């Protein structure tokens, strides 16, 4: 499936949902993309997600961070048989930048399995898949 600048591929062999942003996107496309990932995950009963951010710029705003926290992540608890594991795949440069205030840094610092999710940032895809398999 390709929509919202996003390619979503279920990978039952891993098992994981792999979502790769293919271009720069708007905040609205980001929201629609997250809902598309959620719909695909629901369809496959998959709580392991690889979100590849390497081809798009960071979208940072208090409004977007609030939307993720209060609207999107609120949908995750008890949705699957285990908390969602979101591996964010970023470029090495972006990983350095993510140490500052950014939405990815904020998301990855909010480990909340009791609220339905774990997150981590990776620059190596194989390491991300290993983490997702835990």
Residue 50: CB atoms within 10 A of its CB come to: 23
What's the chain's average pLDDT?
A: 83
The C-alpha atoms of residue 13 and residue 33 are separated, in whole angstroms, by: 23
Contacts of 62 (CB under 8 A, 6+ apart): none
The pLDDT assigned to 53 comes to 86
Fold of 2-132: Transcription Regulator spoIIAA (3.30.750)
Model pTM score: 0.86
pLDDT tens digits for range 100-130? 555 555 555 556 666 788 988 899 999 999 9
Domain boundaries, the chain: 2-132
Q: What torsion, rounded to 10 degrees, do the Cα atoms 7, 10, 15, 16 define?
A: 30
The pLDDT assigned to 103 comes to 55
Q: What is the mean pLDDT of residues 51-62?
A: 75
Comparison of pLDDT for 12 and 111, the residue scoring more: 12
pLDDT bracket for residue 52 (50, 70, 90): very high
pLDDT over 80 at 41, yes or no: yes
């Amino acid at each position: 499936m390709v929509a919202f600048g996003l390619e979503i591929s279920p990978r039952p062999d891993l098992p994981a949902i792999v979502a790769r942003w293919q271009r720069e996107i708007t905040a609205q496309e980001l929201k629609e993309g997250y809902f598309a990932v959620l719909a695909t995950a629901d369809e496959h009963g998959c709580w392991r997600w690889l979100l590849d951010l390497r081809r798009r710029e960071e979208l940072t705003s208090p409004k977007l961070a609030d939307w993720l926290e209060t609207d999107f992540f609120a949908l995750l608890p008890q949705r699957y048989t285990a908390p969602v594991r979101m591996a964010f795949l970023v470029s090495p440069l972006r990983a350095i930048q993510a140490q500052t205030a950014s939405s990815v840094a904020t998301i990855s610092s909010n480990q909340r399995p009791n609220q339905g999710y774990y997150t981590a940032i990776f620059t190596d895809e194989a390491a991300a898949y290993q983490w997702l398999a835990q």
